[in-house]
Structure 1
Amino acid sequence: MMKTSVLRTERIKMKQNFTLKQLARQSKNLYNYGNYIIKKQLERSKYLTKEYDLANMLRYHPCYTKMPAHSAQQTIKFLCKSWKGYIRAKRDYKKHPEKYNFEEPKEPKYKKKRGFHTVYFTADQVSLKEGSYLHFPKRVGLKVETRLATNTKINHARLLFKGTCFILEIVYEQEIEELGDLKAKHILSLDLGVNNLLAGLSNSMSPFIICGRKLKAINQWYNKEKARIQSVYDLQGVGEYGQKMKKIIDKRYWRMEDYIHKASRKVINVCADNDIDTIVIGYNQKWKQRTQMGKRNNQNFVNIPFLKLIQKIQYKAEEAGIQVILTEESYTSKSSFLDGEPIQKHVRYLGRRVKRGLFRSKTGLFLNADCNSAGNIGRKVFPVLFNYGTVDAVSHPVCLTV
């Protein structure tokens, strides 16, 4: 098989220190100065300042000279790219406002006075030495231990501020085998949910469920703590988020990220153990907008990052040589999988959900409601192949621990 090169990112959490703060603050100052020049130029001549011209204007400015040259250039490049994207979006908005939910695109804003901006490092500025240590330019004076091999090809690195800490993202190249035109034989279909984060049904293995109650518990803890801290802030007259609020936001983010990573890894491990070559996932674009599942269910559903979960499954499946197909999931929960009912709107459906989490088919067979949805998602893409192995769907699905 031919090999192809893909980009992967290693993320390292770093404590705040003077060096990192100074770098991020100078990057913010440079961004704001450049933004000011571009805005004034547009007011005068209606023309966007070019990246090369902007770099020449700011070359001797203190915020430019206090940064490594390549990093300063990358900040200017990012700013110009943001403005070009804004202008393109504004033109497109006039023709197709529905693509933007009828909300006009906004121009790049200034960064906050006491805020930070991402610092970019090119491949020429960073190098892996002494085993797995990433070395930065001398004037930065930074050396970070990574999990990468010495011969890893670095694409670029970026340092960004996240609430109470800095995150170093190292983007590197990795070679994987091309999938090519795979013929689907062993298929796993996944249905995403709240109580059951993932329900999996396959034509070659027993069904399984990965619990989503841990994510619900994290969100409930976060909402309770946020309300408590906000009430204290209101009494104290604190306008912006304080350190305590930032800490719980960070804690929620990292706990969610950890669980989603482990859940996606569990799915890929199950696929590898059972020779699965294709994963089908039900996903509707903009399904979190205007959801009508009740106040409590809406809150739980919207706060779970399903798209992140899908993206993590996709890149891990790519490395394992498994293809991933996304399909819309309309009427999959109401149609009866065991009866082979057409997946569309009906006046009267063959089966029905008799209890919470329990679906009954026309023939009186019971199966897990989420597994019924997962089976129908698979049928949308592979209507013939996914009719095999329906007997296993009747059995109680295995609950996998993460």
Structure 2
Amino acid sequence: MLFKVGKYLNNAELDKIMKTNVHFRALRSACAQQTLHGVIESFKSYKALKKKYDKGQLTDKPRVPKYRKKGGLSVVSYPARWVKLVKGQLKFTLGKQVKAWFGIDHFLLPMPSNIDFKSIKEYRFVPRNGCFYLEFVYERPKPKPVTPTENVLGIDPGLNNWLTCVSNIGKSFIVDGRKVKSQNQWYNKRVSAIKKGKQCDYWDEQLASLTERRNCQMRDNVNKAAKFVV
């Protein structure tokens, strides 16, 4: 509608247009609607930025949200009310069209033991590098305020010495960064070998798997270092 008549659709209008779409019907209605509403929010942001650009309040011209590439995947969100806990398993129901196509109407995933089921507000299936991650959206209690102190820790980041830390109470330590550096070097060498002789934007499942593994390693390293320092 934007490109034909310059009109921005709202949530209700887009839902009405897409309700007969076979892909829309393949999902639970709440999941499909949230996906559509995410598109609406993207165009709302574009509209607001374009107004600012037209008024001279922005230097860079905003770009219209792009179409997802062929084969691209999107986040799917399940409101908590659509998910049931059955014998320690989370039950995610599917649309009638999926049942007609594949003969299944739900799937089960284990419920984490460190999260209260009743506190969860939303579930998000996030595709990344050939994997799917389930994110749990829930409210956390407000952390207790930190008691003011005069203790100070100075941190100097580096490579081989990842974190060099010195406090004002006479304590110091170094977090070794050679393992992190080695993991990154190995990843870069493997990527370079796979992409040799190919286009710069070449990508395949092997690269996706390597990238996801490396990202998990880096995330684990950062979490462990932060826990040690704190």
TM-score (norm 1): 0.50
- Conserved 8 A contact 1:160-1:168: yes
- Conserved 8 A contact 2:91-2:106: no
1:52 and 1:112 map into 2 onto residues whose CA distance is 26
Report the CA distance between 1:75 and its aligned residue: 0.1
Closer, same or farther: CA 147–199 of 1 in aligned 2, 3 Å: farther
Report the CA distance between 1:179 and its aligned residue: 1.7
2:182 and 2:51 map into 1 onto residues whose CA distance is 44
What is the one-letter code of the residue matched to 1:161? P
- Secondary structure in 1 aligned to 2:133? strand
- Conserved 8 A contact 1:120-1:157: yes
Deviations 1:142-176 (A, max 9, x none): 32332334454002111121112111111222213
Which fold has the larger relative contact order, with Cα–Cα distance below 8 Å and residues 6 or more apart in sequence? 1
- Secondary structure in 2 aligned to 1:255? helix
Report the CA distance between 1:51 and its aligned residue: 1.1
Larger radius of gyration: 1
Q: What is the aligned counterpart of 1:105 among 54, 62, 67?
A: 62
- Conserved 8 A contact 1:152-1:173: no
Partner of 2:176: 211
Q: What is the aligned counterpart of 2:21 among 61, 67, 85?
A: 61
Partner of 1:156: 122
Closer, same or farther: CA 216–239 of 1 in aligned 2, 3 Å: closer
After TM superposition, the structure 1 = structure 2 runs for residues 272-287 of structure 1, keeping only pairs within 5 Å, are: none
Q: Please identify, of 141-150 and 55-64, the stretch whose mean Cα deviation from structure 2 is larger.
A: 141-150
After TM superposition, the structure 1 = structure 2 runs for residues 80-119 of structure 1, keeping only pairs within 5 Å, are: 80-93=40-53, 94-97=56-59, 102=60, 104-119=61-76
Partner of 1:189: 154
Closer, same or farther: CA 251–185 of 1 in aligned 2, 3 Å: same
- Secondary structure in 2 aligned to 1:141? strand
1:136 aligns to 2:81 (yes or no): no
Closer, same or farther: CA 92–208 of 1 in aligned 2, 3 Å: farther
Report the CA distance between 1:178 and its aligned residue: 3.9
Identical positions, percent = 28
Closer, same or farther: CA 185–162 of 1 in aligned 2, 3 Å: same
Partner of 1:262: 224
1:242 aligns to 2:212 (yes or no): no
Closer, same or farther: CA 194–238 of 1 in aligned 2, 3 Å: closer
Deviations 1:63-120 (A, max 9, x none): 11110111001101111111111222233344132xxxx4x33221111222211111
Q: What is the aligned counterpart of 2:187 among 188, 211, 222?
A: 222
- Secondary structure in 1 aligned to 2:74? coil
Partner of 1:282: none
Report the CA distance between 1:226 and its aligned residue: 1.0
What is the one-letter code of the residue matched to 2:91? H
What is the one-letter code of the residue matched to 2:65? P
What is the one-letter code of the residue matched to 2:194? I
- Secondary structure in 1 aligned to 2:93? coil
- Conserved 8 A contact 1:70-1:121: yes
1:115 and 1:135 map into 2 onto residues whose CA distance is 25
Count residues with an aligned counterpart: 218
1:125 aligns to 2:82 (yes or no): yes
Deviations 1:297-325 (A, max 9, x none): xxxxxxxxxxxxxxxxxxxxxxxxxxxxx
1:75 and 1:259 map into 2 onto residues whose CA distance is 33
Partner of 2:138: 172
TM-score (norm 2): 0.83
1:119 and 1:257 map into 2 onto residues whose CA distance is 23
Deviations 1:11-42 (A, max 9, x none): xxxxxxxxxxxxxxxxxxxxxxxxxxxxxx11
How large is the RMSD of aligned CA atoms in angstroms? 2.4
Deviations 1:219-273 (A, max 9, x none): 2111111111112x63xx89741222222212211111111111111122xxxxx
What is the one-letter code of the residue matched to 2:90? L
Closer, same or farther: CA 258–112 of 1 in aligned 2, 3 Å: same
Q: Please identify, of 191-200 and 165-174, the stretch whose mean Cα deviation from structure 2 is larger.
A: 191-200
